[in-house]
Structure 1
C-alpha cells in the first residue's frame, strides 16, 4: 500500500492556529461506517452518540514544557525537545541542529541552571542527554521550557493550559493527546450522569505519534516506541465491558494504540506497562475498541492510516473531503470526528 493513497490537499487557512474560546464548542463530524452516514454537529453533542454502559477511555498523560533553547559552551545555539525519560536523569531528545552535538558535548540552559551532556548518539536527530541541575526538574522546566507546539502552529499560545486536557495527570508527553482537548469537566460530568463510564490509560506521546512517514510503501515504515500504562482497575472494567457486549470508545489515537497493544498481546485487557511501537494501518483488525473520537490528521500520516483501518480508506477520504468543503478546522487545535459502527437496519445503506 502506497503512502500517497493517504494524501489530500488542505487549504492553509483550515489549519487551526489557536484553540477556540470554549473547548466543547468545536465542531464534530460523526462517521457511522456501518451505514456510511456522515453528520455535522458540535462537540458537546457527543452526548447524543454515547449511551449508558459505554466505556470512554481517555489518555491522562500531561505535556511537559519540553522545548528548551540553550547553547553549547562554544556559544552555538541549540534547541532540544525532551522526548523520553530513560532513567537516572537521562533523556532521549530531538536536537537541532543535531550535527553539532556529539558525545561529550554539553548544552547550557538558563546560564547553567540546567546542563545537558550528550552521552549517546542515535539517528534521526535523536541524542541521549544526561541532565545536571539542582532542585526539582519539573520546576526548572516550568521556568526554562516552553510547550512543544507542532511546527504547523505559528501563533503564540497565550494560555499553556489549553494545550493540556482538563484531566491531564501524569507528566511525560512531548505533545498533547489532542482529541481530549474538546472535553470540559462539565461535559465529562454530564456523560457520567447519563451512565457513560470513564476510564484512563497513559501513553506518553513522543516521536511515534507525530514523526512523518518518509517511505513510499506503508509496510516499510517503522514506528518509534512510546511508553504506556494501564492499571488493574481499568483492565478489569474493560474486560467486564467486553463480556457484557458494551462499547469501548477510545478518545484519541494514543488511547487506541494503548488498548490495541495490550489486547493484541494478551487477548484481553491486562494491567501492564511498557513500550509500544504498534503501527495500525488498513488490513489491521481492531480487537479492543468499538469507536474512536479523534481530530483531523495530517496528510500521509500514520494517524490517517490508523483511522482508515477502522472505517475504511475510501470512507475516511470522503469524510475528509466533506470536512474541507464544510470548512472544518484541522489538526491539534481543530475540530473532532467520532468514528463508530451504527446499527444496520438491512437493505443497501451506501
Structure 2
C-alpha cells in the first residue's frame, strides 16, 4: 500500500505506480502522459494532460531544456553489470558495479583497487580506487564512447520489464551525447509540443548537463557533473526575467546547471565545467521560477530540491494527489509542473 506519511516525503511507492514501459508502446504518443500542476502561489493542484502544456504557460515565459543525449551506458557481463557514469578530465570514468539477478541487477559491494575486469569484446576495465561507497574510479583500455556504441545498452532498472532501444531513452532535444541516464523530464516533448510553445510566444533554450548514474536503492546527494550554459541561454534567461516572464526549468538537471551559472548578482552568465552545486531549500533557487519534472522517489534529494520551489506541505499535498489519482513514476511516467 502506498502511504505518504509526512511532509518530509518518507513514503512507500506501490509497485503498481511504477511506469514499466513508454507511453508509445500502447499506440499513444510520447506526450500522452498526465501532467500534475501545482500553483506556487496558491498551492492548488490540478490534473491535466502533457499536451496542454503550451496553454498552461504564458507568452514571454522561457523553457530551459537539457540537450544531453543518453549513452548506452550499461555493459552486461556473466555475473556483473557495469554502469558507466561520468567521464573525468584525465580520461578515467566513474562507474558503478552491480550484481546480476536474473534479468535485472542489484548493488554489488565487491571489487578491489587494482582489479582488472574482463569485459565483452576483449576490453578490460581497471578499478583504480573507490570514489564513494557505490562508485569506482576506473579506466577502460579502449575508447569508452566507441566501446559503448558497440557493446553497451541503456541502463534499465527492475521496474522496466524489458530492454528498449536507445532511441527510447533520447529526448527530442538530445544533441550532445554524454548522460548515463536520460534527462527524463523532457521525454514527453514532441516536435508538435515545441511548435505549440513557440507559436504562443514561449521561448525554448538549451543547457547541457551530463547526468551520472542515480541509485534506485538509496538517497544520496548528486556528485559533480559536467555542464555548459551557453551565452545564448544566459541572455535568454536574463531577458525573460527583465521582461517579466518566467523561467521554467525542464528537469532538476537544468536547475543545477543554471544555479551553477548564477553570478550572485541576480543574473546568469555563460559558464561551463564541472559543478558540485547542490540545490537545497536553505540555499534557495535564484535563476528559475518553476520546474517541470517527474515524480520522484521517497527520501530522494530531488524532493529536497523541489522544496526550494514550494513548501513541504504543498508538495506533500501534491504527492497525495498523485498517489490518489494513480499517477505513474519513473522515466516513462507522468510529470509535474510547479509554477
Paired residues for 1:10-29 under 5 Å: 10-21=13-24, 22-29=29-36
Q: Which residue of the other structure, out of 96, 101, 114, is the alignment partner of 1:104?
A: 114
Q: Which residue of the other structure, out of 133, 136, 143, is the alignment partner of 1:127?
A: 136
How far residue 4 of structure 1 moved from its aligned partner, in angstroms, is 8.0
Change (3 A) 1:260 1:155: same
Q: Which residue of the other structure, out of 158, 163, 170, is the alignment partner of 1:157?
A: 163
Q: State the TM-score, normalized to the length of structure 1.
A: 0.85
Q: Which residue of the other structure, out of 52, 61, 78, is the alignment partner of 1:45?
A: 52
Change (3 A) 1:109 1:165: same
Question: Residue in 2 aligned with 1:185?
Answer: 191
Q: Which residue of the other structure, out of 145, 150, 155, is the alignment partner of 1:138?
A: 145
CA distance in 1, matches of 2:47, 2:300: 24
Question: Residue in 1 aligned with 2:105?
Answer: none
Choose 276-285 or 59-68, whichever is displaced more. 276-285
Change (3 A) 1:302 1:264: farther
- 2:319 equivalent to 1:320: yes
Question: Residue in 1 aligned with 2:308?
Answer: 309
Choose 89-98 or 236-245, whichever is displaced more. 89-98
Question: Residue in 1 aligned with 2:103?
Answer: none
Deviation readout 1:36-76 (Å, 9 max, x if unpaired): 221111001001111221111000111111111237xxxxx
Question: Residue in 2 aligned with 1:297?
Answer: 296
SS at match of 2:306: helix
Q: State the TM-score, normalized to the length of structure 2.
A: 0.88
CA distance in 1, matches of 2:7, 2:112: 36
Q: Which residue of the other structure, out of 162, 174, 179, is the alignment partner of 1:168?
A: 174
Q: Which residue of the other structure, out of 212, 216, 229, is the alignment partner of 2:218?
A: 212
Question: Residue in 2 aligned with 1:347?
Answer: none
**Is the Cα contact below 8 Å between 2:7 and 2:316 reproduced in 1?**
no
Question: Residue in 1 aligned with 2:12?
Answer: 9
CA distance in 1, matches of 2:80, 2:213: 19
SS at match of 1:56: strand
CA distance in 1, matches of 2:223, 2:214: 4
Paired residues for 1:199-238 under 5 Å: 199-207=205-213, 212-213=218-219, 222-238=221-237
Change (3 A) 1:70 1:152: closer
Query: Unaligned stretches of 5+ in structure 2?
Result: 1-5, 100-107
- 2:78 equivalent to 1:36: no
Deviation readout 1:108-154 (Å, 9 max, x if unpaired): 22240x22122333331322222123xx64343122111012x3423
Question: Residue in 1 aligned with 2:102?
Answer: none
**Is the Cα contact below 8 Å between 2:181 and 2:213 reproduced in 1?**
no
Question: Residue in 2 aligned with 1:346?
Answer: none
Question: Residue in 2 aligned with 1:95?
Answer: 97
**Is the Cα contact below 8 Å between 2:121 and 2:151 reproduced in 1?**
no
Deviation readout 1:276-316 (Å, 9 max, x if unpaired): 23222333332100111111100111111111221111011
How far residue 103 of structure 1 moved from its aligned partner, in angstroms, is 3.0
Query: Unaligned stretches of 5+ in structure 1?
Result: 72-76, 215-221, 341-350
Choose 319-328 or 152-161, whichever is displaced more. 152-161
CA distance in 1, matches of 2:251, 2:217: 17
How far residue 211 of structure 1 moved from its aligned partner, in angstroms, is 7.7
Deviation readout 1:139-182 (Å, 9 max, x if unpaired): 43122111012x34231133331211111111111111111001
SS at match of 1:182: coil
CA distance in 1, matches of 2:215, 2:229: 18
Q: Which residue of the other structure, out of 126, 143, 146, is the alignment partner of 1:117?
A: 126
Question: Residue in 2 aligned with 1:218?
Answer: none
